[in-house]
Each structure stands twice: as C-alpha cells, then as structure tokens.
Structure 1
C-alpha cells in the first residue's frame, strides 16, 4: 500500500452478510473481498471489520447500508433489514462515511465500471428486492430525505402484491429474484431459490424460463418509465438477477423498446454492471474518497 495512495475501506451491509475490502483510487480491490454472515451485534461487527482492515494506516472508510441516509442530519433514517443501524451517524461508526447500498453500487459502476464517463445514468439492481439510483448531470440524486432513487418502489400495478414498503404493486414485487421464485412456486408448486430456478431454466424447464422472462419484462417496463422521466444516456442493470442476464435480456430489451419514448430511446444504452458482488464495496469506498459528485 503506497503512502501516497492509501487504500480506502469499503464495507457493504447486505441482508444476510457483510462484504468488505480495501479499495484503491482506481476502484481495484487491494486484497480479498471478504463475505461473512451478519452477526447479531451488527454494530460491533462493523467496527471489528473496519479495525481489521485499517491496521495502523488510518484509512478512510465507507459503509453502504440497506437504508436511507438523511442528508440533513447525516444519520440513517430507515433500514428495514438492519434496524439496529437506524439513527446512527458517522461518529457512531468510527467516522465512517455512510451511503445507501444501491447508490453505492451505482457510484461504483459510474466511477469504475460500466457507466464510467457517462453523466446521466439509471442503475437498477435486482436481487432480493430491487434497488436503484439515478445520476443526473454528473450528480447523484439524493432527495429531500435521502430517499431519491428508490426505484424498486415505482408502482406498476396499484392492485398488485403487497410490498414491504406498505404499498401495492411496486416494481420489486414483479422484477426481483424473490418475485421470480414466487412466480415459479405459484405455477409449479415447487419452492426453489432464484439460483435454482435459473439452473432449471437453462436445463430446459419452460416454467422456469418463463419466470425470468416475466420478471425481465416488468423490469424493462419500469426501466422505460424511468427513462422517460430522467432521459439517461445509459441504464445499468446489476444485482443477482443480472447474473441471469441471458434469461431476462430479450424480454427486458423488448419492453424498453416498446415503452420508451422514441426520442429518449434513440442512443439509450443498456449495460450489465461490470463489478458484480464487489460493486457495493467499491462504491462505498468511492463515496468515502470522492463524495457523490465528480
């Protein structure tokens, strides 16, 4: 580790695990990406991970959290899957910079991945739910209470399934990995994980392939609506569902072509994220090092 280019610590708090690594100024990992199950004492676990990576270097750290950061107070305003973090600020976590996990993934792709050099980008990250972020004219959309870019809660069907946010018919109820597994189970009676459904689809299971196609279509409808609002140059798709891009690409692309305004659709690029499981870690480090603007 060069004294003139100290690495930044990136930590990504997921629903069931915590990933972390040292990241250099170019977004490259300096050492392994650790991925450990979340502990009961999550706050203590985060402090321990930071200390283990920090050593005696005094590295700056960024933590991506599954919730919102109130821009007025700098504190975590909501975190449904990590309630122990609600109300905490940077000083409570050893002066670590805090950011939303989907925003961190988008920042990583924007600075160091698929969207490098692009000034207007939508990020859609589909996994257990659907997270998202928006960069407009080179700045991350934050919103009045840090909830800008909650793209997974775009309502597609007011009479649709109940969402964890309390609403009905949100995008993530149709286009997430959870939705894929649910769709498959409802039609076949077989309870399978999203990864198992993907393997079945590639092995010729028609219902499994249709589950991904349906989700891809809904994700494309949501992406088209968002493109019509924000007029991006690029849409980046990431998360676990992106690992099955071969199963969703056709339906996603068709929906984007049909539902995006022609003037916005012309020149619009769709890219799969390049940074995979490390995106949140790299983005957390980037936010700590650079903030959310160039």
Structure 2
C-alpha cells in the first residue's frame, strides 16, 4: 500500500525547522499542498519572523510542490483563524492538521516561574486547541479530517525539569482521547505522535552521539501513517531512530475493597493487587472505569 496525499491540504504548525520542517517536506513530497506555519521565534518562544516558514515553502516549491507560508502564533486564536482562511482561500479545504508547534522553558518545579508554566501550556495545549477548533467545522462539513497531536515521553512518563512541558503534553493525550470519540462519526481521526528527535528543543538535553542517531526524519513515517486516509483513530504512536512503539492508557482489573471505616486499611494492604497489571485493558471511553467499579460492587452484593 502506497501512502500518498494527492488532493489533500495540510497545515503543519511549528514547521520552520526541525521536526515540523520534515513533516511539511514529507507531506509535500507525497502530493499534499502544505501551509507551513512558524512564528520564527527562539526555542523559548521569544521573537518572531516569517523567514523560517518561507524558507521551507521555497524548498517545497523548488521540488515541484505547492506550499504557502504563515507566521501566526498558535496562542492567538484570531491569527489562527486567519491562517485557516488563508489555506481555504488558496485550496478550498483542509484535510490534515499536524499540531507540532512548541517551546521549552525547562527548570525544576521548585525554581520554575508560574509565567513559564503558563506560557508552555498556552503554546502546546491551547495552541493545539486553537488550531483544532479552527479546522474542526471544515472537517465536519467535508466529512474528513486527520489531526495529529504532538505529545511526548516527558508527558507520558515524566522527565526532570519539565513539569510544564510534561503537563501540556499529557493534556494533549486527554484532548485526543475525547476528540477521537467526537470526530469518529464524521471520519475525523485524531491521534498522538510522541517523537524522540534531535532538534533545537533537544540539542541541550542529550549527548552528541545520541543526537546524531536521532534524526528528525526518522520520526516522519509515524506522522505520515497518522495523517493518511487509512490512519487509525485514538492511537499514541511513539517514534525515534527508526523504532516505533505504541503507548496506552490502561485500566487494571482492580479489586472490590468496600467503603466502610476500614476500607483505607484494606486498600493499603491490597494495593499491590489493585495495581497489578495482569489483565489490564485499554478502555474505549471514560465510562469503562465506572462500569468496572459498579460491576465489581454489584457482584459483591450478589454474594451477600
């Protein structure tokens, strides 16, 4: 099966360099018309210029593709709406949104300013919300859409000094979980990509030899699958150095403990049983937790 994007229109945010640039180039190489968005700021979000986005557009056009540049900040919903109108005015539709824009403001939580926490949440989480909100009505109307959220192992599993970044990245998983349910009836598939790649945002975090092995290009196949017409829905794909994995939010079978005055002590005594992963499932909605809990309670009542 060949994955191609002929006739498709894509928006890639944060696409002026690093992983976003590779996403834009790869989509264009396979036939997509691409709006390349990039604020052109520093890794911490300071400054701004459309030069980075235009340079990627020039690369795409030089290779025979179609692309336009946009310098909107994803934190500005009005600017994001104008960006979407720019794509629609040029190409009449939007099929793919890759929410890739992000910044870093790393520090231990004890030393982290609240402004740095808010800004990282604003760019990663609200930036993705703004872009998704702006394209959602179009995708509903055309009964087709592919949205890729960029999460991170720092959100899924934690990383010292990245409380703000990790919180924002895990929030995107929660956003994906619900939007994938709400969009399914209109053929809108929403997934997450957790990349490990050497970019401006990671160059100070890893040894040089490791950075050389982690080319951003190695992550791109996962994005192409998640953006394709045959994309899964509600999947967290992890990718780095040519290796691909999937992450899952699971629910253990658990145990009925009861609710009387001694329940806390019994729970503490049986905590290993409650947290045991054998038999865990991947719930299809949040209702599964309540169903499991009530089911065990009713089964216990039936015994008494």
TM-score normalised according to structure 2 size = 0.32
TM-score normalised according to structure 1 size = 0.32
Q: Higher relative contact order by CA 8 Å / sep ≥ 6: 1 or 2?
A: 1
Question: Which structure has the larger Rg over C-alpha atoms?
Answer: 2
Structure with the higher fraction of residues in helix conformation: 2
Structure with the higher fraction of residues in strand conformation: 1
